[in-house]
Amino acid sequence: MTFDLGDGIRLRLVDHGDAEAYAAAYDVNRAHLAYWDPVRDESFYTVEWHNGLVTQYLRDHADGRAARFVLTHDDGRILGVANVTNIVRGAFHSADLGYWIDASLAGRGVMTRVIAIVIDYARAELELHRLQASTLLENAASQRVLRHNGFEQIGMAPKYLRIAGEWQDHLLFQRILSDS
């Protein structure tokens, strides 16, 4: 399942063989992501580490726990990710949504389009009732992406995630996908 976004950019599910491009993408975007991401050990930026992660991602997908998308360029680079994780069934039928885009592509409306595709996938393929996302209070770009895609703010969670080395407050958003 591949979605063509034009200019050589495509969205697809993570696959075997993505580890090298993943590691390179995180390395290139260290400064871009530092303010918004957890602190990473140096080992995180190695192909070996990402080989292990990709194996885990594929296992999680097979087990119905997550669906991880990569934004690729035809030249082989990974230019962003969009992750549906922590899928819980039963009365919840809900999951978390996370994403980032390469610094060179930011501000062109790409992630807004990517999240629209991921929402369709979460509804049609994963049959989820709801997606949840959280942003730092000052992450206006991320909040715009969510609101463009029909997410509503449902609250503020104090000290919610450890980002850039500090437990930080987050705005919580949800999008109801299906009432049936």
Considering the complex, what minimum distance in angstroms separates the CB of residue 146 from ligand COA? 8
**Distance (Å) of CA 147 to CA 62, 68, 78, 125, 133:** 30, 21, 25, 22, 11
Residues of span 7-66 touching ligand COA by CB under 6 A: 33, 36
Site string for ligand COA, 61-90 (x = CB under 6 A): ------------------------------
State residue 67 phi and psi, 5-degree precision: -140, 115
Q: Does 154 contact ligand COA by CB under 6 A?
A: no
- Residue 118 sits in the site that holds ligand COA (CB under 6 A): no
In the set 89, 108, 159, 162, which binds ligand COA (CB under 6 A)?
A: 108
- CA 36 distance to own-chain centroid: 12
**Whose CA is closest to 148, among 126, 124, 173?**
173
In the list 19, 111, 122, 128, the residue contacting ligand COA (rule: CB under 6 A) is: 111
From CA 178, how far away is CA 26, in angstroms rounded? Answer: 34
Q: Interface with ligand COA by CB under 6 A: which residues? A: 33, 36, 99-101, 106-112, 135, 139-142, 144-145
